[in-house]
Copies of this chain bind each other. A is one copy, B any other.
């Protein structure tokens, strides 16, 4: 992994996501331009010190020198945008697969150089357009692809955030700082950071291509060097019309990515903040609520699920919190969070017995745990 040192937000997400299915193991990294910070991050991650590199070049050079069965298979690039192209190209040329954060590069021209390197190297290049990974986004795409909605007429996509409502980019917020710096973010601010997600999702799910755009960019926060608010009208290749809204100054909004697509027969709606639900509306019958794990899903969608019906993905994290607290307790950490244990077990068993005794008796009120029913 390149980037993602302690404190970085998206790096930790990549690490957990890669670990979730056991397909990947993090074995090497150059986590920061600060060699010492890189070392500490690697240590915290339990990596062997000799594979925690002070620079990206060192990583490429030394990993390439390892025997094929020992060296890394792929590189995850989670740095600011200006490093995507040079690192991706170097990584591909060195024979590694590359999984890269979006946007792809600083400009279309630069992105095309990555494309060329990927082709030449015969290596895989992945981009973290994460929202394509939600099971019900795939369900939406499949429904449209098989014609359930008929010919598509409308595509509305919006991505509302509020975290840049104040000038935090000049108040030392690292995340905000590089995202509003043309030298590190590229041509677009909000446009590149989340406008690209909205656009990719709209084309990915609709299966259509935007032919022309009419747009309005704004920078609402004084002194900000890149756009923080995007509005655009879209015309798709089949004649469908669209609206795209992406903003980072919608004060009070969290991560409001929402897609609505309407065709001749009906429409669908998916919202990232409730990702396990897909609403289908119909011209001639009641709307349907399609749920992750529920009836009516395409097999390809079900293959993307890890939890049973009604258990939001997030259930795994809840579970993980218990495992984490349990480990902390075992390590004897003084600030270990509480976790359910013996007392909870005894109480719930007492409850089971009290309920059964009461339900089978004429006794109206039965004491829980008193044993009078044993």
Contact = CB atoms under 8 A, between A and B. Distances in A.
Contacts of A22: 15, 19, 45-46
A320 interface: yes
Nearest to A150: B251
A173 interface: no
A358 to B, nearest CB: 5
Interface size class of A (residues with CB under 8 A): 35 or more
A279 B288 CA distance: 10
A216 B235 contact: yes
A98 to B, nearest CB: 10
A374 B107 CA distance: 11
Contacts of A192: 352
Interface stretch (A30-38, A54-62, A63-71, A306-314): A306-314
B356 A187 contact: yes
B288 A287 contact: yes
Majority-rule SS of A interface residues? mixed
A322 B233 contact: no
A205 interface: no
Contact of A16 (B20, B153, B252, B344): B20
Contact of A306 (B112, B304, B317, B340): B317
Interface in A122-166: 124-135, 149-150, 153-154, 156, 158, 161-163, 165-166
B352 A191 contact: yes
A19 B161 CA distance: 31
A154 B249 contact: yes
Task: Give me the 4 closest cross-chain CB pairs, A-B, nearest first.
Answer: A255-B310, A254-B310, A252-B281, A104-B345
Nearest to A131: B318
A274 B275 contact: no
Given A166-B283, A251-B262, A359 B154 contact: no
Contact of A231 (B163, B227, B233, B363): B233
Nearest to A304: B321
B241 A229 contact: yes
